[in-house]
Amino acid sequence: MKIITIGREFGSGGRELGKRLADLTGFDYYDQEILHAIAEKKAHTSGYPESAVAFHAWRTLPLVFHHSFADEHAIHMNELIAQKEVLEEISALERDCIIIGQDADVILKEKKPFRIFVCAELNTRVKRCMERAEGKEKEFSEKEMKRNIKRIDKYRAQTRELVSGSKWGTREGYDLIVNSTDWRMQELAESIKDYMERWFARK
């Protein structure tokens, strides 16, 4: 089974890259939306009372999580637990897959995923987000968009540190960090596909 995990700066195109990579490889594809939907369905069908879920959390999450954990994170924690369980169920399927975000690289590290991180210059990311937001209900100024991007990245970095004790987007944690600035996503996906195939075949 081959697992590809894609961490990404907000607006860098990491999700689109993952989708295209899934099209090119035929791998299963999971992003935040899909994973949340699965987790929500699980929450509705499992009969566990809140307290049992919380207990389960303290038992299974890494130690660092306990240390930095505080009451105000209660709901957030439940989400993280559900997310972790869903990821483990997915990996138990033993099917090749691509997972966007959700700290899947850390949670599934025993499965030796190919860990990609996608970044891009801030201006490129702002432009990308502005285009995506066009015609939507809420319009953002460039300045607001910049602030949004930084806020979301900060949240991602914090969540990762909370879950894993390791840093987000620094070289120690990934097999490949790509800068998507000026790339067409399809070409970037093709390049990474070739690299990734060699990575899985190495040694």
Q: Which residues of this chain interact with a second copy, rule CB under 8 A? A: 117, 119, 169-172, 174-179, 182-184, 187-188, 190-192, 194-195, 198-199, 202-203
Shortest Å distance, C-beta 8 to a second copy:
11
Q: State which residue, 35 or 113, has the beta carbon closest to a second copy.
A: 113
CB 12 within 8 Å of CB 125: yes
In this structure, what token pair is assigned to residue 190?
């093709």
Which helix (H) or strand (E) segment is 119 a member of? strand 114-119
Shortest distance, CB of residue 188 to a second copy, whole angstroms? 8
Residues 168 and 160: beta-carbon distance below 8 Å: yes
Local structure of residue 127 (DSSP, 8 states)? H
Task: Return the number of the residue (65 or 174) whose C-beta is nearest a second copy.
Answer: 174
Q: Which is nearer to a second copy, 70 or 201 (CB)?
A: 201
Q: Which residue from 90, 91, 97, 95 is spatially nearest to 114, judged by alpha carbons?
A: 97
Quote the Cα angle for 96-152-134, to 5°.
90
Instruction: Please name every residue paired with 118 in a beta bridge, in sequence order, or none if there are none.
Output: 8, 178
Which residue bears the tokens 């303290």? Answer: 58
Rounded to the nearest whole angstrom, what is the least distance from the CB of residue 89 to a second copy in the complex?
A: 28
Give whichever of 15 and 84 is closer to a second copy, judged by the CB atom. Answer: 15
